[in-house]
Structure formats: structure tokens, C-alpha cells
Homo-oligomer: A and B are copies of this chain.
């Protein structure tokens, strides 16, 4: 398969490139960028000197379409809409890493993102790129909406438990902490080293756009939920840890069994032995999600950890594309 990465110079593009370099079936055929066209990719990411020295191409989709069989869209939300429609019209498979097709409908998208959606017709076929939950639908999908990083860490532990009705849905808290790559490559006050180092704080409290995504997808487990979600910035490059609180009247062994059964055979989900908490360092640079359960009376605490750029973005995108291309989902991933 010849692969194009549209918007290849951001952090998710970089993570994709690093994965694809070692992928046995996917070959990088085009790396595009609006602002950095003409530059060798390794000049933007000197880690890849001598490995990916390909020149970055402009965002000329026509030209790109000739060279590729599938594309990963690493564009800001809104920009993915036209791009997805174009590449689909050319018969290419599309994995979109933006939020443009995650929310199921024009209405919800516009309510959350406060901008018009111009490709409403594509919602019907877009499949949420979380292979362990929507793998069946992905097998025949042309368009996948890769989940947000925070939602992955919150949805995967909760979905099976909600589906089986093992936890109360009425007061679920997800307290999430993310590394700074989650804030993107563009320098800002928020990402200035001196505002991050020796600091810890919440942001987007009760207003983060991943909150409706979490609720919408968890709703597919069968019941409306209204998770209270708080993201925080942790002074690390990569990783998300989510500590999730709920009430449950089911014992911890049964809860663990539920998760193990649901995720049976899924290489990238690790349910930890009791007593161990999930740690971002243990999933760094991997496509794993680690999930740990703790319980006392009816108080359930779940901790999960992912690499926000791998399982939380580009790893999930490759895993999803593997399925869309008929490969084993683990191909080329650790």
C-alpha cells in the first residue's frame, strides 16, 4: 500500500512517519504540508536524518492522489472535511485524525465545534477508529474517524462495563493528565517550557471538546452518560493518565473479568494485576493501553494510561488502517 500523510509536519504526522518507516506493508509515498513544502522531512525532524529525507510536498491533493492508495489526514478540524471528501472520491481509503467525523452528526459537531460542517453526507459512513470496539465496522469502512487522545483513555475502560450494566452511569468522573505533545507543535504560552516545568494545573474545566465525544461514544454502549471530565497538563512530553471514578455494586473480580472477556485476543489492551496502577512510562512509544481496577465498597477507581500520540492518535490510526486494508490489526505496531 502506498501511503500519503496530509499535514505531515505536526506531532501526529511525525509519529505516523516513525511507525510507517518500520511497517512491512505500508510505504510512505507522499508527505505534505502547506507551509514547509520543499523542505526535507529530516530538516523538520532531525531524528530522521538518513532515514526519512523525503522532500515535503505541497498540499496539492490531485497530485498526491496519483501516488497513494490511502491517506492519513493530520489536519486541523474543518480542514479535513474537504480533504476526506476528495480522497474518497478518488477511491482512496481515509483515516482522519481530526475531530471532523467523530461526533456522528452535523448537529452535534456544530454544537461542539461552533463551525459549520460542510460534508454532512460523510457522517453516515464514517466509523470511529477504535478497533477494539468498532473493529467489525472498520473492516468495510472507507472513512475512519480516529478518536481523540483523551477519549481513548476514558472510553476503552468504561465501554464494556457500561455495556454490561456493571457500573452506575449517573456520576462518572474522569480526571485526565496529558503530556505537552497533546497541545501541538506550534509554540504558545501554554507550551513554553517555563510555564510547564515545575507546574501542574487543570485547563478547559467543564468545557473541553473531548467531553461530548466521550459521552457520545459511551452512549453507544446502551445508556446515556454524562461524564465529568477534567484535563490537566503534566510536565511530560508524551502520555495520558486517566483516573476514572464511578459507583459499582459488582465485585472487582467480575469487573476485571468483564474487561478481559471484552478485550480477549486484543494485543494492545493490558488489564493489570490488582494493586498496580497504570503508568504512562509503561506505555510510552507503544500502542498499548494499560487499565487498572481498584475497588472499596461501591467505590470504583480505574486508572488507564496510553501514549497520547500512539494509541491516542497515530498508532490507533495505523491499527485502524490495517483493518481497513485487510491486514492483521497489529501489523507494524508494537
Contact = CB atoms under 8 A, between A and B. Distances in A.
A267 interface: yes
A247 interface: yes
Contacts of A203: 277
Contacts of A89: none
A299 interface: yes
A47 B201 contact: no
A261 interface: no
A275 to B, nearest CB: 9
A214 interface: no
A24 interface: no
Contacts of A283: 47
Interface string A189-202: 10111111111111
B303 A202 contact: yes
A237 interface: yes
A286 interface: yes
Contacts of A301: 202, 205-206, 228, 230
A50 to B, nearest CB: 6
Given A193-B191, A279-B46, A281-B198, A206 B236 contact: no
B49 A282 contact: yes
Interface stretch (A28-36, A94-102, A126-134, A179-187): A179-187
Interface in A240-268: 241, 243, 245, 247, 267
A106 interface: no
B196 A267 contact: no
13 contacts: A47-B284, A175-B243, A185-B192, A191-B193, A191-B194, A199-B280, A200-B236, A201-B303, A202-B277, A205-B292, A206-B299, A230-B243, A232-B241
